[in-house]
Amino acid sequence: MDAPIAAVIAAAGSSSRMGGVKKEYLPLGRGMIDEEGKPLSVLGSSVLAFASSPRIDLLVIAVPADREHAARLSLPSRLLYPAAKPKLFFVPGGTTRRSSVHHGLSLLDAYGPRLVLIHDGARPWVDEDLIDRIISAALRYRAVIPVTPLTETPKELSPEGFIVRHLRRSLVGTAQTPQGFAFPEILRAHERAAERELAEGFEYTDDAEIWGEFCGPVASIPGAAGNRKITFPEDLGRP
């Protein structure tokens, strides 16, 4: 039997740029409802996309330690049935996004997944096609992320605000999630990243950076223009 494929959804942040309102539990808006007729939440939309993929066997959601009940209420109830596929778990988040993801990976270690996809819970418009393409690419490359092209010319700045490098737009892109990785390696990389954080106070921006530092190259595939992340209140309801 093939090793399972898993996903970790990071939804343990404080939503500080939303005025402290937990964005993942908010209704998505624009009349979006689930199959039970309930308003579809930001987190519910993200989770449904992964639950709809026949290739995902295990799904872990990292939530604030005191908010698991609220997270459950924000999901379609069918996903919470003991016999539901994928098998669903909740883990308490950490003090950083990286540590929250690490908690999810640590839980999955007992199940020996082949791959894991790591996704931001605040990206509700992820679709099954992107999930499928990430899985297929991760099986080939062992580490892959979706990237969208820039539409404006980027510049690298000094701390004082002066331009130090004129970057070629064709060689720069914006990273999205889900990001897919071979499981044993990304778990060990997170363990080493945790050691560096403790020793140096270093903060990682995403899981691809962790893989790149401790494992090697990360491949990329085209992202999806609609796979936006909700950061500010005005982002809700955008198609």
pLDDT in tens, 192-201: 999 999 999 9
pLDDT in tens, 162-183: 999 999 999 999 999 999 999 9
Residue 114 has pLDDT above 90, yes or no: yes
- Asked, for residue 84, whether it belongs to a domain, the answer is yes
- Asked, for residue 184, whether it belongs to a domain, the answer is yes
In the chain, the number of structural domains is 1
- Asked, for residue 19, whether it belongs to a domain, the answer is yes
- Asked, for residue 85, whether it belongs to a domain, the answer is yes
- Asked, for residue 237, whether it belongs to a domain, the answer is no
Q: Are 89 and 58 in contact (CB under 8 A)?
A: yes
Highest mean pLDDT among 12-26, 34-48, 187-201: 187-201
pLDDT classification of 19: cutoffs 50, 70, 90:
low
Domain containing 22 equals: 5-232
The pTM (predicted TM-score) of the whole model is: 0.93
- Asked, for residue 181, whether it belongs to a domain, the answer is yes
- Asked, for residue 205, whether it belongs to a domain, the answer is yes
Domain of 151: which CATH number? 3.90.550.10
- Asked, for residue 238, whether it belongs to a domain, the answer is no
